[in-house]
Structure 1
Amino acid sequence: MNPPRLVEITPATHRVEIDLVYATERNLTGKPIYRRAHCLLLEPAEAALRRAIDVAAQAGFTLRIYDAYRPPQAQQVLWDFLPDPNFIADLGRGSNHSRGTALDLTLVGAHGEPLDMGTGFDEMVAASGHFHAGLPEPVQRNRLLLLGVMHAAGFTHIESEWWHYELPGSRALPPIDNAASGPWRLM
């Protein structure tokens, strides 16, 4: 049996913007978690991302990716910082990011600015939930637009994070250790 194959996502190969916040201090821990900034997805997730890119482009938008494959070691760093199962998957359950089948992203408009989603990426508050009541109508529309793009491409969402999408059935796959991520080791 062949090991899982991660595919690198770049602006040149995929017509996306990439801002891997876990390779910077601009994440909830305040410290870089990744030593290297490579945006990676398992082959089936990469194929679905290509569909999402095309759907978004039809509506005049680009995707900005904040995170994709996340080694289990990085997941542990996040859990140690914020052990809240509403927002961070513990290693016992595993994160679909660690399976290479999940990504965090937003839509970017024609002028290069991300759409207003009401909360920032990784803002671990109730208002980050997909259908949080009380958000202004333009924010609700923007979230629904992203939801439609990603669902049309074959992804599903989780309730608590407007930015998180994953392939259905991902839990059946094993996590991919950092050492098994080929030449793109993040940690």
Structure 2
Amino acid sequence: MKRRFISVIFVILSITIGFTQEIPKNKYGLSVVNDFGLYQTQIKKDSAKALVDLQKFIPGIFIDVRYATENNFAKTKFYESQKVFLRAPAAAALKKIQKELSQQNISLKIYDAYRPYSVTEKMWEFVHDDRYAADPKSGSRHNRACAVDVTLVDLKTKKEFAMPTPYDNFTVKAHHSYSNLPRKILANRKLLKTIMTKFGFETITS
């Protein structure tokens, strides 16, 4: 089902998402900003809520937004663009990671970052399992632009590092606790996890 090359979603810890009461609530009682004017009002109040275009902010970073194609678990195009965005603090942390990795001739590759709430609703229609997809009743860190799906790329060969599963994988092999893997793959997973957590990100279990 869901094929995720690293099958890790990293979540920045330092961001507090604080919505004001003026944001309308949906049927689940969640505050959802779905209007550009309202978004502009929010970032005027708190610049940390601004969405940063990662390709412009981190030159040279690799992008492969599968949800902008049909090459994903649902065989459905969810996005109209390959652009990827994160909240400003998360984007700044990711830029530091990319800089440190570049010293080892390694780059990040981004599969997904900010995800509109409407896409979360559509994905839930395909995957009714909150281990691998966000339940619209609670939303996700992707909806709040502070989560990113990533892997590593060798800058010399332009090839992705071997990881436990392909991107969008909904099996136990995608879990961080799964260890029945070749040593090289375990080392690659550890390398990615170590540098992400160093700069304030954490992993989810699946």
Aligned residue identity for 2:176: H
Does structure 2 conserve the Cα–Cα contact (< 8 Å) formed by 1:14 and 1:50?
A: no
Does structure 1 conserve the Cα–Cα contact (< 8 Å) formed by 2:58 and 2:95?
A: no
- Count how many residue pairs are aligned between Structure 1 and Structure 2: 160
The aligned counterpart of 1:106 is: 151
Does structure 2 conserve the Cα–Cα contact (< 8 Å) formed by 1:29 and 1:81?
A: yes
Q: CA deviation at 1:9?
A: 1.1
* Partner deviation per Cα, 1:116-155 (whole Å, 9 max, x = no partner): 0021011111101123121111110000000011111211
RMSD: 1.4
Instruction: Give secondary structure in 1 for the equivalent of 2:92.
Output: helix
For residue 42 of structure 1, the aligned residue among 84, 87, 99 is 87
1:129 aligns with 2:175: yes
For residue 148 of structure 1, the aligned residue among 153, 175, 194 is 194
Matches within 5 A, 1:78-89: 78-89=123-134
Distance (Å, rounded) in 2 between the aligned partners of 1:54 and 1:152: 13
Instruction: Give secondary structure in 1 for the equivalent of 2:151.
Output: strand
Does structure 1 conserve the Cα–Cα contact (< 8 Å) formed by 2:63 and 2:82?
A: no
Give unmatched runs, 5+ long, in structure 1.
161-187
Instruction: Give secondary structure in 2 for the equivalent of 1:10.
Output: helix
Instruction: Give secondary structure in 2 for the equivalent of 1:99.
Output: coil
1:2 aligns with 2:39: no
For residue 57 of structure 1, the aligned residue among 62, 77, 102 is 102
Does structure 2 conserve the Cα–Cα contact (< 8 Å) formed by 1:6 and 1:40?
A: yes
Rg larger in structure: 2
| Identity over aligned pairs, percent | 34
TM-score, normalised via structure 2 length: 0.74
Aligned residue identity for 1:14: P
* Partner deviation per Cα, 1:24-67 (whole Å, 9 max, x = no partner): 01111101101222111111110111111012112221110000
Does structure 2 conserve the Cα–Cα contact (< 8 Å) formed by 1:11 and 1:18?
A: no
Give unmatched runs, 5+ long, in structure 2.
1-40, 44-48
TM-score, normalised via structure 1 length: 0.81
Aligned residue identity for 1:147: K
Instruction: Give secondary structure in 1 for the equivalent of 2:85.
Output: strand
Distance (Å, rounded) in 2 between the aligned partners of 1:79 and 1:128: 19
Distance (Å, rounded) in 1 between the aligned partners of 2:191 and 2:177: 12
Distance (Å, rounded) in 2 between the aligned partners of 1:59 and 1:148: 14
